[in-house]
Amino acid sequence: MRLAAYEHPHPHPHQYQHQHQRRVAVVEDDGTLYPLPGVSSLTDLLAPGDGLRGCLDRGAAALDGPAGPHASQVRLLAPLQPTSVRDFVAFEEHVEGVRRSVEGTAGVPEQWYAAPTFYFGNPHAIYGPHDDIPAAPGAGVLDFELEVAAVIGREGSDLSPEQAREHIVGYTIFNDWSARDLQSAEMRVGLGPCKGKDTATTLGPYLVTADELEPYRDGDGFLRLAMTAAINGEVVGRDLLSNMSWTFEEMAAYASRGTRVVPGDVLGSGTCGNGGCLAELWGLRGRQDPPPLKPGDTVTLTVEGIGTVSNTVVPGPEPLPIPAARRRTRERP
């Protein structure tokens, strides 16, 4: 089942204070939307923690009701507003290329192989599948990152990978927009990316429920989905999601260790290899080819079984000045 969040103009706008209705619907193969009665947010739908079964039951009820508009007649929103965003780095090939580009270092850190490392992203900077993306303030080297995200549908803690499978409700495309010049400077502090990743993440076009993608699962438990990235219509990257070094269930289990995962948490796969981002290509080629993204460029990401997101970069705001650190006298009381 595919679930979409969308905004649809009200048929009688002058009678209502809010002229646009936000709804959640099941998306049929022909693009027809079947709204879920009384549901305006997928985040709210997931909140009770009923997991996959709850979504499928509510979706089935919607399909028994009246059809709504066609997907082409509405503005698709990000499928959900995440409760949290964890972004992993599960593709070895990506680590090799981007480390050379961003950090100027070859190879993969030995510690990377020990556990599926992640950083926390910004759940307040989520964009929909066709929204314009403002360039990060002060950035001159803008990049995209092609990923898939798992969405948590049931609360759990200290899960095993086998248990974690029951906590994943579905999947969506995840574009981790990155300002590589800001990121490169920030990483020298040793706390990971900050403003280099902070201003935009695309999710969409739908939440595809986990059962829909089971036919793509290979013998090792990975989802064998073809992934493609294009800039202004020219393909720059192709990979398979099954080239991840950990399954989503293993990453969800690690995320739950010593803490909780809750409905609405988003777990990004990390960027795929073979051109899943520009920085990887720059690291391999030793030059910025293709060049960094600029306003007017359109990035289109497609994942088999999930769909396509396509966003155009637009100018962002100028950064307001923040002073450099002051060297204090270190007085003591």
Q: How confident is the model at residue 16 (pLDDT cuts 50, 70, 90)?
A: very low
Evaluate whether residue 327 is within a structural domain.
no
Same domain, 239 and 259: yes
Same domain, 65 and 88: no
The predicted model scores a pTM of 0.95
Helix (H) or strand (E) holding 96: helix 92-102
Same domain, 249 and 296: yes
Evaluate whether residue 163 is within a structural domain.
yes
pLDDT at 62: 96
Same domain, 36 and 159: no
Tell me the pLDDT tens digit for each residue of 189-230.
988 899 999 999 999 999 999 999 999 999 999 999 999 999
Q: Shortest CA distance to 141 belongs to which of 270, 269, 283?
A: 283
Task: Give the dihedral of Cα atoms 52, 55, 61, 63; nearest 10 deg.
Answer: -100
3-state secondary structure of 133: strand
pLDDT at 12: 57
Q: Shortest CA distance to 26 belongs to which of 59, 50, 67?
A: 59
- Boundaries of domain holding 29: 2-76
pLDDT at 26: 98
Q: What single-letter DSSP state applies at residue 248?
A: H
Tell me the pLDDT tens digit for each residue of 233-276.
999 999 999 999 999 999 999 999 999 999 999 999 999 999 99
CA distance 306 to 75: 18
Boundary residue ending a domain (45, 76, 107) = 76
